[in-house]
Structure 1
């Protein structure tokens, strides 16, 4: 993961310097990135998750549902504030909220054996974050890295197969950490476009499914979730 972020940051920085050189601009920051902004973004996300049963200390890995094909689109808003310092360093804060439609289906496994009678559906809905940002201004180019807290709302349903009728489900909002890297380009004094890669790790959280028939609680499960996404955005700077 660190290798991907470092490589992305290096590539974007190199691209920014090359573009500045091609345009006959100095590598130092002549465009000032200080100020607030609000923008809209859209992208594509993917990830993997596991919902495991916790009826025994070692049951999580052996009994449950593995989701390796979680994927779908996302779109939302972001806003923040940045301050540019002498020498080109830019620091800031940013928050974002996105409507997402990441989804995957699978079958229940017990000690590696599929159970043809039971399946699961995992859906990742709204996702958001609050992060710190750091970048290096090269005139109208700003390569950056970012890190902070990530939030995600998910729904996990357990279903009868082959009908697909849900017999229990759970919804919850979980928190983790987010890391990212990308670059922005100021197409005018006020309008800025960006491309970004984001990784989020939500760790493991306990969840309790409830019957869809009478609301009775089932034995506690736990969910582990990691996501990746690529997003493009456009923002207006004040």
Structure 2
């Protein structure tokens, strides 16, 4: 009987010490969860190429018009979205963004590859935006991702007399295309998230009808092709 009591006391004491040790141990931190809505601010630098070609004949677009090869500049704006993290680390979401831009290029009119010294062009990109789906893989506080969706751009194209640079016609319009991108985010805290991203957008070809700045009369219809590249940095608050 005495032996049984001593054994019982030993087992109870051992269990108590084990419980105390467990209570004093530091538990591993829970993995970060990317689910939730967020809103953020972004800024970046972009470049691209464009062509405004005349369409008076089926094959005139490439031969007559204005080619822009270095349309570059900065931009800044806001973005917002929602993400859902699934078992296994897959993260899916939807996001929209809008930025004011200051991207501009100048060139001269060309006819069949020959510069016309009397006429020039100015292309300005003053707003860009998109609505996209996002997919990523959660690595605790890191989230590499890819994204794709619809892109928009608001531009103004002016044609000028040279060398006076007087604008004699212009057009201003909003066009749509598609956007593809990739990047990574890092959760600095449970609520603040920073990101870096590269994005490409192709807006295809759209009709571009200039109007005279003197009497508003339409000039022979043109078309615009536009492609852009962006490097973006952002910081967001996740709710």
TM-score of the superposed pair, with normalisation by structure 1: 0.88
* Equivalent in the alignment of 1:113: 114
Q: Which moved more, 1:7-16 or 1:206-215?
A: 7-16
Q: 1:5 offset after TM fit, Å?
A: 71
- Summarize deviations over 1:86-107 as a string: whole Å, max 9, x none: 0000000000000001100000
Distance 1:7 1:229 in 2: 73
Aligned 8 A contact 1:17 1:138 in 2: no
Q: For residues 22 and 232 of structure 1, do their structure 2 counterparts lie closer, same or farther at Cα, with a shift above 3 Å needed? A: farther
Indicate the SS of the match to 1:122.
strand
Aligned 8 A contact 1:28 1:137 in 2: no
Q: For residues 165 and 111 of structure 1, do their structure 2 counterparts lie closer, same or farther at Cα, with a shift above 3 Å needed? A: same
Q: 1:201 offset after TM fit, Å?
A: 0.1
Indicate the SS of the match to 1:69.
coil
Structure 2 segments unaligned to the other structure (5+ residues): none
Q: For residues 192 and 48 of structure 1, do their structure 2 counterparts lie closer, same or farther at Cα, with a shift above 3 Å needed? A: same
Distance 1:8 1:52 in 2: 94
Q: For residues 50 and 213 of structure 1, do their structure 2 counterparts lie closer, same or farther at Cα, with a shift above 3 Å needed? A: same
Q: 1:118 offset after TM fit, Å?
A: 0.1
Q: For residues 86 and 6 of structure 1, do their structure 2 counterparts lie closer, same or farther at Cα, with a shift above 3 Å needed? A: farther
RMSD: 15.9
Q: For residues 182 and 104 of structure 1, do their structure 2 counterparts lie closer, same or farther at Cα, with a shift above 3 Å needed? A: same
Distance 2:5 2:187 in 1: 22
Aligned 8 A contact 1:48 1:69 in 2: yes
Aligned 8 A contact 1:13 1:143 in 2: no
- Summarize deviations over 1:148-199 as a string: whole Å, max 9, x none: 0000000000000011110000000000000000000000000000000000
Q: For residues 131 and 112 of structure 1, do their structure 2 counterparts lie closer, same or farther at Cα, with a shift above 3 Å needed? A: same
Total equivalences in the alignment: 237
TM-score of the superposed pair, with normalisation by structure 2: 0.88
* Equivalent in the alignment of 1:127: 128
The yes-or-no answer on 1:26 pairing with 2:28 is yes
Distance 1:91 1:191 in 2: 19
Q: 1:115 offset after TM fit, Å?
A: 0.1
Larger radius of gyration: 2
Structure 1 segments unaligned to the other structure (5+ residues): none
Q: Which moved more, 1:98-107 or 1:15-24?
A: 15-24
Q: For residues 178 and 207 of structure 1, do their structure 2 counterparts lie closer, same or farther at Cα, with a shift above 3 Å needed? A: same
Aligned 8 A contact 1:9 1:144 in 2: no
Q: For residues 16 and 96 of structure 1, do their structure 2 counterparts lie closer, same or farther at Cα, with a shift above 3 Å needed? A: farther
Aligned 8 A contact 1:16 1:143 in 2: no
* Equivalent in the alignment of 2:14: 14
Distance 1:111 1:208 in 2: 21
Please list every run of at least 4 consecutive aligned residues from structure 1 whose deviation after the TM superposition is greater than 2 angstroms: 1-29
Q: Which moved more, 1:46-55 or 1:1-10?
A: 1-10
Q: For residues 103 and 154 of structure 1, do their structure 2 counterparts lie closer, same or farther at Cα, with a shift above 3 Å needed? A: same
Aligned 8 A contact 1:190 1:237 in 2: yes
